[in-house]
């Protein structure tokens, strides 16, 4: 009852701001998702109303009038059974194909996306632009350009959710997940954590700022000059002593990393692996799980010495190392 009174007062006081029915659609995929959503809504309401009204109609038409009346008999009707099995199956098949093809499109980032890095931790979002700008609980992105987020968590599973873009992906400790979007409207949009992660899960909020490309560039270079991720990564690489083994001309105890990113390498176990972000992270945290053929397993682990942000910076640095021919030592 208290709720009813509250409802009444809030409703009337905010009558001019009646709750909107549809979230803003601010990404390239939002309209497509909404079309599917509306189709599903239509089907749901159609069948719900159809069933309810049929029931209501039968309830009234066939209500019991006298206690000893004999009801009619309806024979089993195979064509009818088949019809109402096959028609829903066809509707489901259609929805499945529509939803899946949309999902397929929405899951593959176009090449040449702007890459931004996200680290979730209880209870905030750390955003790292490759150019060096860092944000907390805010994400500035340029309009009209595909943006790919590479994300990981420092602790528990979180989930990066931007309702206006219709995108969401779990952010999982120990691995990288990605999502991409292309913003289509300048504005400010909610960012939520959508996987329960502990006490302040509901406060793990943020804002996404979509700016025109010119404004975005200006914003990136405003404020005190930042070192880019590659520069910080290089500093860390040298500070932690990585450069003593991973000598660029291949004369060190470890393989040269020049051009290493994107190559396929063979491990000591015979398995072949692609050197991507996940591989490099594994090499830093659990080096003995990815020892290359012809190399001794002597790389120490850096677990505990680098946080996820530093790992991403190191990865950025490794990626930046040119594709000069690697020295034959180690092949």
Partner 1 sequence: MAIHNAHAPGFAHQFEDMEQQREAGSLGMWIFLLTEMMFFGGLFATYIVYRALYLPSFEIGSHLLEVKFGALNTTVLIASSLTMALAIHSAQIGKRSAQVGFLITTMILGAAFLAIKFTFEWRHDYVEHLVPGFGFLIRPEWGAPGAHVPMFFCFYFFMTGLHALHMIIGIGILTVLTVMAHRGKFTPQYYSPLEVSGLYWHFVDIVWIFLFPLLYLIGGRYAGGGH
Partner 2 sequence: MSTATLDVHELPAGSRVNYLNAQYGIKSWLLTTDHKRIALLYLGSITLMFFVGGFFAVLMRLHLIEPQGALVQPETYNKLFTMHGVIMVFFFLVPSIPATLGNFLVPMMIGARDLAFPKLNLLSWYIYVIGAIFTLYAVISGGVDTGWTFYTPYSSSFSHTSVIPTALGVFITGFSSILTGLNFVVTIHKMRAPGLTWFRLPLFIWAIYATSIIFILGTPVIAITLFLLFLERVLHIGIFDPAIGGDPILFQHLFWFYSHPAVYIMILPGMGVMSELITCFSRKRIFGYSFVAFSSLAIAIISFLVWGHHMFVTGQSIYAGLVFSVLSFLVAIPSAVKVFNWTATLHKGSISYDAPMLYALGFIGLFTMGGLTGLFLASLATDVHLNGTYFIVAHFHYIMVGGAVMAYLGGIHFWWPKITGRLYPDGWARFAALVIFVGFNLTFFPQFMLGYLGMPRRYAVYPSEFQVLNVMSSAGASILGIGYLIPLIYLTWSMRYGPTAGPNPWGAKGLEWTTPSPPPTENFEEIPVVTEEAYDYAHSTVTRG
Judged by the rule CB under 8 A, the positions of this chain that interact with partner 1 are 286-288, 297, 301
Query: What's the min distance (Å) between Cβ of 296 and partner 1?
Result: 11
Q: Which is nearer to partner 1, 238 or 301 (CB)?
A: 301
**SS3 assignment, position 118:** strand
Residue 11 binding partner 2, by CB under 8 A: yes
Smallest distance, partner 1 to C-beta of residue 288, A: 3
Dist. CA 27–CA 30, nearest whole Å? 5
Least distance (Å) between residue 322 CB and partner 2: 31
Q: Which of residues 223-262 bind partner 2 (CB under 8 A)?
A: none
Q: 79 in helix, strand or coil?
A: helix
Mention every residue, 6+ apart, whose C-beta is less than 8 A from residue 266: 272, 292, 293
> Token digits for 166?
């219709």
Closer residue to partner 1, CB minimum distance, 198 or 297? 297
Q: How far apart are CA 131 and CA 138, in angstroms?
A: 16
* 16 binding partner 2? (CB under 8 A): no
The site partner of 32 among partner 2, partner 1, none (C-beta below 5 to 8 Å per kind) is partner 2
SS3 per residue for 199-233 = CCHHHCCEEEEEECHHHHHHHHHCCCCCCCHHHHH
- If contact means CB under 5 to 8 A according to the sort of partner, which of partner 2, partner 1, none does residue 297 touch? partner 1
Q: How far, in Å, CA of 168 to CA of 274, rounded? A: 26
8 Å CB contact between 185 and 24: yes
90 binds, among partner 1, partner 2, none (CB under 5 to 8 A by kind): none
Binders of partner 2 among residues 18 to 37 (CB under 8 A) are 18-23, 32-33, 36-37
| Side-by-side strand order, sheet with 138-142 | 138-142, 206-211, 187-193, 158-162, 167-171
Q: Show the binding pattern over residues 275-294: x = contacts partner 2 (CB under 8 A), - = does not.
A: -----------x--------
Q: Which does 287 bind (CB under 5 to 8 A by kind): partner 1, partner 2, none?
A: partner 1
The alpha-helical segments, DSSP class H, found in 240-323 are 242-245, 277-285, 308-320
Binders of partner 2 among 193-212, rule CB under 8 A?
Answer: 193-203, 205
List the interface residues with partner 2, window 74-113 (CB under 8 A): 74, 76-77, 80-81, 84-85, 88-89, 92-93, 95-96, 98-100, 102-104, 106-107
- Nearer Cβ to partner 1, position 235 or 273? 273
């Amino acid at each position: 009852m208290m709720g009813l009174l509250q409802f009444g007062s809030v409703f009337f006081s905010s009558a001019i701001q009646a709750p909107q029915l549809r979230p803003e659609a601010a990404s390239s995929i939002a309209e497509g998702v909404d079309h599917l959503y509306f189709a599903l809504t239509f089907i749901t309401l159609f069948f719900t109303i159809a069933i309810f009204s049929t029931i209501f109609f039968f309830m009234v038409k066939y209500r019991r009038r006298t206690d000893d009346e004999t009801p009619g008999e309806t024979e089993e009707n195979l064509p009818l059974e088949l019809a109402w099995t096959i028609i829903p199956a066809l509707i489901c098949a259609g929805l499945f194909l529509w939803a899946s093809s949309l999902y397929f499109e929405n899951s593959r980032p176009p090449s040449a996306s702007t890459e931004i890095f996200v680290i979730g931790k209880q209870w905030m979002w750390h955003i790292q632009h490759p150019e060096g700008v860092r944000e907390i609980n805010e994400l500035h992105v340029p309009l009209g350009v595909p943006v790919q987020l590479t994300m990981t968590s420092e602790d528990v599973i979180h989930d990066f959710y931007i309702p206006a873009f219709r995108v969401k992906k779990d952010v999982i400790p120990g691995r990288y997940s990605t999502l991409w979007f292309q913003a289509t409207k300048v504005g400010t949009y909610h960012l939520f954590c959508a996987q329960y992660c502990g006490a302040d899960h509901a406060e793990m909020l943020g804002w996404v700022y979509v700016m025109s490309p010119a404004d975005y560039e200006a914003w990136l270079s405003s404020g005190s000059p930042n070192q880019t991720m590659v520069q910080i990564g290089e500093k860390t690489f040298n500070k932690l002593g990585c450069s003593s083994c991973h000598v660029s001309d291949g004369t060190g105890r470890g393989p040269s990393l020049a051009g290493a990113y994107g190559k396929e390498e063979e491990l000591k176990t015979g398995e072949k692996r692609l050197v991507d972000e996940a591989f490099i992270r594994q090499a830093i945290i659990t080096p003995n799980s990815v020892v290359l053929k012809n190399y001794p397993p002597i790389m120490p682990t850096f677990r505990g010495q680098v946080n996820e942000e530093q790992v991403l910076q190191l990865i950025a640095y490794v990626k930046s190392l040119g594709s000069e021919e690697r020295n034959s030592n180690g092949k």
